[in-house]
Amino acid sequence: MSGTLFVIATPIGNLKDITLRALETLKQVDLIACEDTRHTQKLLSHYQIQRPLTSLFEHNERLKVPALVRQLQEGKTVGLVSDAGTPGISDPGFVLIREAIQNEIPVVPIPGPSAIITALIVSGMPTDRFCFEGFLPQKSAAMRRKLEELKNEPRTLIFYESPHRVLKTLQAMLELWGDIPIVCARELTKLHEEILRKPISQQITHLQKNTPRGEFVLVVNLRQKE
Cβ pair 120, 130 in contact under 8 A: yes
**Identity (one letter) of the amino acid at 146?**
K
The three-class DSSP label of residue 113 is coil
Residue 157 sits in the site that holds ligand SAM (CB under 6 A):
no
DSSP assignment string, 22-41: HHHHHHH-SEEEES-HHHHH
Residue 138 sits in the site that holds ligand SAM (CB under 6 A):
no
Give 14 or 140: the residue with its C-beta nearer to ligand SAM.
14
What gap in Å lies between CA 169 and CA 94, rounded to an integer? 27
Tell which one of 32, 81, 183, 217 touches ligand SAM (CB under 6 A): 217
Residue 187 sits in the site that holds ligand SAM (CB under 6 A):
yes
Cβ pair 207, 166 in contact under 8 A: yes
Give 151 or 192: the residue with its C-beta nearer to ligand SAM.
192
Shortest distance (Å) from residue 135 CB to ligand SAM: 7
What gap in Å lies between CA 84 and CA 74, rounded to an integer? 29
Looking at 96-104, 113-121, 124-132, 137-145, which segment touches ligand SAM (CB under 6 A)? 113-121
Binding mask 24-53 for ligand SAM (x = CB under 6 A): ------------------------------
Tell which one of 41, 90, 201, 202 touches ligand SAM (CB under 6 A): 90
- 206: which DSSP letter? H
